[in-house]
Amino acid sequence: MKGKNKEKFQTAERVSEKPSDNFVFQRSKLAYCLAAEKISGKVLEIGTGEGYGAKILQPKAEAFFTIDRYATPLDPALAGKIHFTRAKVPPIPFADKTFDFVVSFQVIEHVYYDRFLIQEIWRVLKPGGKLLISTPNRNMSLTRNPFHVREYDSEDFSALLWAAFRQIESGGIAGNQKVMEYYEQNRQSVAKFARFDILDLQHRLPRQLFKIPYDILNRINRKRLLKEGNGLVESIRMEDYFYTSNIDNCFDLFYTATRAGKSSMTLW
């Protein structure tokens, strides 16, 4: 439990419903609502986070399993309906051909062995089973995020998935004018902070050392935008985001991959 609390203090990556996170939370919520329209049968979520996604997905599944590196305070009302496993992936601690769907949102950018994880997802899916997966679009990133091992553009992400899967639908989550107004305010605010980084430490510091200052500044920036945004941050709703096949300027890449045939992925 001590390790879990330490990670929560250090990182803003585990998005919550707090007002300063609203811009990201509403976007994340849409991804889960889109997934809830597609899933059925036996479902695995990789990356439980704060548990709000599991709450959206579970009613649509015959059996729902979720896995996370850290302990997750799930809604007591869902006790017995959600099967939680605490584990670091990869590997995935389930047998071959177990699940009809695997859902993994905003996780793979944190995983060092991303190819191994994709292979493992392919392994635990039943033939014809589907992976629903999202990750931040590198083209829309405003600064280096030390909590991410890497970020992907659409070409990188497609290549990663094509190595294991033979049927892929590419898409993304974008925002309307209100969302883009916040994004521009955020971009300008981040640029102001970056001006003080005269030694370019954000790119020169090792990833692990940069995590704490990044998280502190990230939190300060979000709270500043909340306070000075004239209600813009709180006004953003899930409906201000939408799924699109035009992925160049989307915030998150959102792909669906189907297990068909054999995987030819080489891990190393």
Per-residue model confidence as pLDDT tens for the chain (268 residues) = 334 444 444 455 677 788 888 999 999 999 999 999 999 999 999 999 989 999 999 999 999 999 999 988 888 888 889 999 999 999 999 999 999 999 999 999 999 999 999 999 999 999 999 999 999 999 999 888 889 999 999 999 999 999 999 999 999 999 999 999 999 988 888 777 667 666 666 666 777 776 887 788 788 878 888 888 778 989 999 999 999 998 888 999 999 999 987 665 554 4
Q: Please indicate, yes or no, if residue 230 is contained in any of the structural domains.
A: yes
Closest by CA to 39, choosing from 51, 27, 31, 28, is: 31
- In a domain, residue 122? The reply is yes
Tokens at residue 203, please?
A: 């790119």
Residue 232 falls inside a structural domain? yes
pLDDT given at position 53: 94
Q: What is the pLDDT of residue 72?
A: 81
Residue 265 lies inside a defined structural domain of this protein: no
Asked if residue 241 belongs to a domain, the reply is: yes
Tokens of 81: 């309906």
Q: How far, in whole angstroms, is CA 122 from its chain's centroid?
A: 19
Give the model confidence (pLDDT) of 187-205 as tens digits: 888 777 667 666 666 666 7
- Residue 125 covered by a domain: yes
Report if residue 189 sits inside a domain. Answer: yes
Please give the torsion angle defined by the CA atoms of residues 75, 1, 43 and 107, in that order, rounded to the nearest 10 degrees.
Answer: 120
Q: Which domain holds residue 81?
A: 2-258
For the record, the structure tokens of 44 come out as 């695995």
> What is the DSSP annotation of 45-112?
EE--TTSHHHHHHGGG-SEEEEEESS-----GGGTTTEEEEE--SSS-SS-TT-EEEEEEES-GGG-S
Is 268 a domain residue? no
* HSE-CB of 198 using CA atoms within 13 angstroms: 1
Domain count, the chain: 1
pLDDT at 205: 72
CATH number, domain of 217, equals: 3.40.50.150
pLDDT of residue 212: 83
Residue 149 burial (10 A CB sphere; 0-12, 13-18, 19+): middle
What's the predicted TM-score (pTM) here? 0.89
